[in-house]
Amino acid sequence: MTIHRLVSMLLLIATAVTTASAQPRVLELEDAISIALENNRELEMSRLEMQKAGYQVNEAIGTALPSVSAAGTYTRMLKKPVFFLPARFMDPNAGDGVVPVEVGSDNSYRFGFEASQVLFNAAVFTGVGTAQIYREAAGHMYRQTYNKTVTDVKKSFYGVLLAREVLKLMEASLNNAEENLKNVELMHRQGIVSEYDLIRAQVQTDNIRPRVIEAERNVTLAVNGLKLMLTLPPDEEITVRGALDFVPAEDVMIAQAEELVVEKNASLKALEQQTRVNEQVVSIYRSESLPTLSAFGSYTWLAENDQLGRISTDDFVSTAQVGLSLNFNLFNGLQTTARVDQAQVDFLQSREQYSATKDALVTDAQNIRYRLEEARRRIESQSRTVEQAEKGYRIAVTRYKSGSGTQLEVNDADLALLQARVNRVQAIYDYTVAKSDLEQLLSIHHP
């Protein structure tokens, strides 16, 4: 292979790679949702909180399990302890004084095991159940965050589709105006129409162009919003694939929205579990006034000598003991009573919050149901309006070409057609967004 051919091949490969890398990233709705679920920081924090709740359950269970420890000590006596004996014990001929007597050895060794097991402690066993309830609450909060993330991505994605659809409609209207302008210019040159009609056609075309530019800007803004939602780099080029179609929601989901939201909403379930947690905390603090019964035991090896390093297993003696420990709190300065009162207030607050949230969610469900019904009626009405507007525009153009109509009729018919199409697309978007809000309210998406 010649150098010239090698260089040409490398340039061709480099060009192909550059072209491929310059292609925008194509995203469908499911792709966007997957990216958001992977990159969403709020969802990751919620997942970590759920993981933390699981660890707390393990910790609570651990307080009810036996505790075993091992310990060993070595002690070097710099000065041995003494006790005093009457002097006559050491020497019958001594007086009435006392004589210090050293005890122990220069080196002492101690090694052993200790174990304890709670036999009865209401706070311990209640705490295990409380931790498990809290873990369930954290799971519901994670599901709520998951559903919110999916819904936010859907609405942002639908916003891009809406902006793109409006741009298409604006471009179609501009094409209609430009085609009409060409016909008017031709007829004006032939002396069929007046200069006034030509000016009206030019003004109509020029008035639509800024709206096309505005629609292009709205598409860019919507795409940037989607990239921000997906935490994609601002300089990354993306394009969405899909259409803003009317997909009706399930009739049961709409008709029973108020009942289903109480049954399925993840945030409401989390508040319900949090209320149970606060109720359990009241019981935990109350149990501080109850006795605690524990079993304990130990096994220890002891040895002593005066020469460091010269010790064997035969020098050790062992001791063992078992027993029960009963601890009862008689008075702690009314601290337990104060903690119980505070926990009781927290429980009442969470119960009120649950009731308020429940009422708010039921109201939201009603409002979304009304939005869906209203948007659906608009879609049906605007579909008929679009058909009539298309027919009216064709009639106006035909009448104008035949000389029986005016340019004003064509302009009005084109404006009416554009407005009808935009209204229908907007109605479909409103229905789709309301449907997504209802799905989030009912927490239908599962991690």
Give the CATH number for residue 111: 2.20.200
Using left for φ > 0, alpha for ψ between -120 and 50, and beta otherwise, residue 242 falls in left
Same domain, yes or no: 152 and 259:
yes
Contact 445, 150 (CB under 8 A): yes
pLDDT for 20: 45
CA–CA gap between residue 100 and residue 77 (Å, rounded)? 17
Phi, psi dihedrals of residue 64, rounded to the nearest 5°: -95, -5
Same domain, yes or no: 89 and 225:
no
pLDDT for 284: 86
Same domain, yes or no: 265 and 322:
no
Q: How many CA atoms lie within 13 A of 165 on its CB side?
A: 20
User: Whose CA is closest to 157, among 233, 40, 234, 244?
Assistant: 244
Same domain, yes or no: 286 and 299:
no
CA 81 vs CA 76, 98, 176, 271, 395: distances in Å: 12, 16, 112, 64, 120
Domain span at residue 414 reads 25-65+121-291+335-441
pLDDT for 121: 84
Same domain, yes or no: 205 and 267:
yes
Contact 110, 302 (CB under 8 A): yes
Domain assignment of residue 283, yes or no: yes
The first and second tokens of residue 400, run together, are 């104008």
Contact 229, 154 (CB under 8 A): no
Contact 28, 145 (CB under 8 A): no
Helix, strand, or coil (residue 232): coil
| Angle between the N-to-C axes of helices 335-402 and 122-189, in degrees from 0 to 180, rounded to the nearest 10 | 10
Same domain, yes or no: 347 and 238:
yes
CA 385 vs CA 97, 117, 381, 410, 420: distances in Å: 124, 79, 6, 17, 6
What is the per-residue burial (b if ≥16 Cβ within 10 Å, else e) of 56-79? bbeebeeeeeeeeeeeeeeeeeee
Same domain, yes or no: 257 and 384:
yes
CA–CA gap between residue 79 and residue 325 (Å, rounded)? 36
Same domain, yes or no: 385 and 241:
yes
Task: Look at the chain and report how many structural domains it folds into.
Answer: 2
Amino acid, res. 184? V
DSSP alpha helix (H) spans, 71-194: 87-90, 122-189
CA–CA gap between residue 375 and residue 158 (Å, rounded)? 15
From 327, 353, 375, the end of a domain falls on 327
pLDDT for 120: 87
Task: Name 389's Cβ contacts closer than 8 Å, sequence gap at least 6.
Answer: 413, 416, 417, 419, 420, 421
| Average pLDDT per consecutive 10 residues, the chain (447 residues; last block may be shorter) | 51 48 83 92 90 88 90 89 78 75 86 92 84 91 94 96 94 90 88 87 91 95 94 91 91 91 94 92 86 93 82 86 90 84 93 95 95 95 93 90 83 90 95 95 90
pLDDT for 22: 57
Contact 248, 375 (CB under 8 A): no
Same domain, yes or no: 403 and 414:
yes
Give the CATH number for residue 258: 1.20.1600.10
CA–CA gap between residue 37 and residue 146 (Å, rounded)? 7
Domain assignment of residue 2, yes or no: no
| Whole-prediction pTM | 0.79
Domain assignment of residue 208, yes or no: yes
User: Whose CA is closest to 261, among 137, 140, 441, 139?
Assistant: 441
CA–CA gap between residue 438 and residue 49 (Å, rounded)? 26
From 303, 327, 351, the end of a domain falls on 327
